[in-house]
Structure 1
Amino acid sequence: MKTSPVSALAILFAVCIAFSATSQSVATKKGTAERIKVHGKGLEGNLSGDSPDRDVSVYLPPSYKTDKNRRYPVLYLLHGFTDNDAQWYGFTKHWINLPEVVDKAFADPAVREMIIVTPNAYTRFFGSFYSNSVTTGNWEDYVAKELVGYIDSHYRTIPTAASRGLSGHSMGGYGTMRIGQKYPEIFSSIYLLSPCCMSANLSPNRNEAAAGRMEAIKSMEELEKADFGTKAAFSTAAAWAPNPTKPPFYLDLPVKDGQPQPGILAKLAANAALSGIDQSISNLKKLHAIAFDAGSKDVSIAANNKVLDGVLNDYQIKHTYEEYEGDHINRIGERIGTKVLQFFSTNLSFEQPKRR
């Protein structure tokens, strides 16, 4: 039976329409990103003068606004030093377009949809290190308690630890380890991306010029113009060695008059993630899943990851560890899209709460 040219043309036209409709359906299957304010009671009165009303970026998966009865796990994703949430979510000039990365990942049926939340932890000291400090505010409490409580009360979450994950890059990776190993009753699974600050630096003045630059800073305006290392020294001191009697910075530096300060060095060392890990083993064993990675060219961080891997192996704590070809930042978006989301898709609970 032959098909007439007119019929053939009609069939071709119908196929094109169907293909176009399918393509549009796939193309429009995108999540939405919104930026909200979440007040932190524990951030009130911080000596730095930062607002306790923090910007928070929230990614809602494609089905969130159409499937009104569905609840979702939540991934809390912490950004790094000198960074902020807006640079991840496309609200300003960005180095990672997180919604685009996540949309692409969720196009794979094997990767399950979840809400993603990132607080803006950029402070006057360029980062909070997600720690409790009278100088910068109680960021650890803010993330683990206040932010989680707000998100659970304002979005359709599955409000259990089994359905909450915590991840972060660099300073955010450190925050993930710091908070994750303290609050297994709040977060069940953690993934560290190139985590900084894992081991203690007991020789901050190995470079006398660097120590001199640090002590030469006398105002916030001068600090804002300083090099990265000097900013990091002030930021970690604000987080881990606060001093309410020493304006304008309200912190103690690890050097004074060119000499190392053992007491301050001890405070900084105590806050390195690996310093207290032996006292956190019982909590780490309570976590459902642990993973961490770093680029092979990110030498010191990759080395610390190997130490962490060894410690967890010694204690027979199941985990996933990977060293990949890359540096500190060049493949983070890719890692989130191909590793992190799959990890949480596998390890978080997606079970819908039963109606009473």
Structure 2
Amino acid sequence: MDLQLRPADAGKLNEHVIESLALRANPLGDPSARPLVVYTPPGYDEDPDRRYPSIYVIQGYTGQVSMWWNHSPFVPTYPKMVDDLFATGDVPHCLVVYVDAWTMYGGSQYVDSIGTGRYHTYLCDDVVSFVDTHYRTIDDPAHRAIQGKSSGGFGAMITPMLRPDRFGALASHAGDTLYELCYGASFGDAARLLRSWGGSPERWWEDFCARPAFTHPADMTLLGLYGVAACFSPDANGKPILPFDTRSGRIIDEVWERWLAWDPVRMVRSHADALRSLRGIWIDAGKSDEYYLDLGAQAFVDELAGIGISDIHFELFDGKHGNISYRYPLSLAFLAQRIAP
């Protein structure tokens, strides 16, 4: 990938491959050596005594770290937006860490699972420890934040809940929330689509792996559900178990409860102290999000209010689920201000 920034007042992108102890011998046989890119802001090399806050950036489902450098017409890449933001001098300088959590199913939801691997531990321990060891960070959760969109937005919400000793602020763009709408609304469609494979998600997966990806109209819907099932509801052998009957679409309560346990809306009350400790919370979504994540964002914010948290940035904007990368620098600036020393 092209890691070049502007030659004059730019920061610097540093490319690494880190070996993750947490991902060794993971159940899918995915690599334990993972790419990691760390952005150091302008002036980092000139002031060797200065230490910096850090913001970790995680991706949505099917995202890989190299995709941050994909070009879209008339839209700068996110690393370019980051550098432009810090080049203004108006935003406190931070390190920005681009994390890879790809799996053969397309993602990990940033959780530890016997179906995919220990990606929560990888992020919170392996990646954070590497960055703090090799860069002049301020090694304190009050000066460490996490940002993501979609599944990355979900990861950004739950990670500080579970590890307030690691992260002290979050920004979620259209993060997966309110699962009865975000996921449940697609169960009927998925059951119909699986008829082409005799109702067997395993047969669909074998077919998917045997041909070019996304050459069947069912692929995107089924991949998301099958991959998330590997994260949230694997059986004792790590096999993904869907939370609905594949013939009728009827919810299987005991499996669905395992999914609901990971719904950020439902996690708020049991992680109230961790959430109250955060220095900054940014929640947004498009008003026409195809997965109803605008409604999920509202439900999450309502739950935060229920535990006494009102000092947040909450915004519903005109838009859908895609083409919202212009929102990322807005929340990055917010996080930089909140975690500044």
- For Structure 1 versus Structure 2, the TM-score category normalised by the shorter chain is 0.7 to 0.9
Output one character per residue of 1:123-159: Cα deviation in whole Å (capped at 9) or x when no partner.
1000111011122111111111221111100111111
Q: Which residue of 1 aligns with 2:3?
A: none
The amino acid across from 1:331 in the alignment is I
Q: Which residue of 1 aligns with 2:90?
A: 110
The amino acid across from 2:241 in the alignment is D
User: Equivalences for 1:10-29 in 2 at 5 Å?
Assistant: 28-29=8-9
- Find 1:83's aligned residue among 44, 57, 63: 63
- Find 1:242's aligned residue among 234, 237, 245: 234
User: Does residue 307 in structure 1 map to residue 299 in structure 2?
Assistant: yes
Give the 3 Å change call, closer, same or farther, for CA 203–107 of structure 1 in structure 2: closer
Output one character per residue of 1:3-59: Cα deviation in whole Å (capped at 9) or x when no partner.
xxxxxxxxxxxxxxxxxxxxxxx9611112232112222212211110111111211
| Distance in 1 of aligned mates of 2:19 and 2:131 | 12
- Find 2:41's aligned residue among 54, 61, 82: 61
Q: SS at 1:83's partner residue? A: coil
The amino acid across from 1:212 in the alignment is R
User: Does residue 221 in structure 1 map to residue 212 in structure 2?
Assistant: no
User: Equivalences for 1:262-341 in 2 at 5 Å?
Assistant: 262-298=253-289, 300-317=292-309, 318-332=311-325, 334-337=326-329, 339-341=330-332
| Distance in 1 of aligned mates of 2:155 and 2:76 | 19
- Find 1:210's aligned residue among 193, 199, 216: 193
* Runs (5+) with no aligned partner, structure 2: 1-5
Larger Rg: 1
TM-score, normalised by the number of residues in structure 1: 0.83
- Whether the 8 Å contact between 2:10 and 2:87 is mirrored in structure 1 is no
Q: State the percentage of identical aligned residues.
A: 24
The amino acid across from 1:153 in the alignment is T
TM-score, normalised by the number of residues in structure 2: 0.86
Q: SS at 1:309's partner residue? A: helix
Deviation of 1:222 (Å): 4.8
| Distance in 2 of aligned mates of 1:52 and 1:27 | 33
User: Equivalences for 1:22-37 in 2 at 5 Å?
Assistant: 28-37=8-17
Q: SS at 1:128's partner residue? A: coil
Computed over aligned residues only, the root mean square deviation of the Cα atoms, in angstroms, reads 2.2
Residue correspondences, number: 318
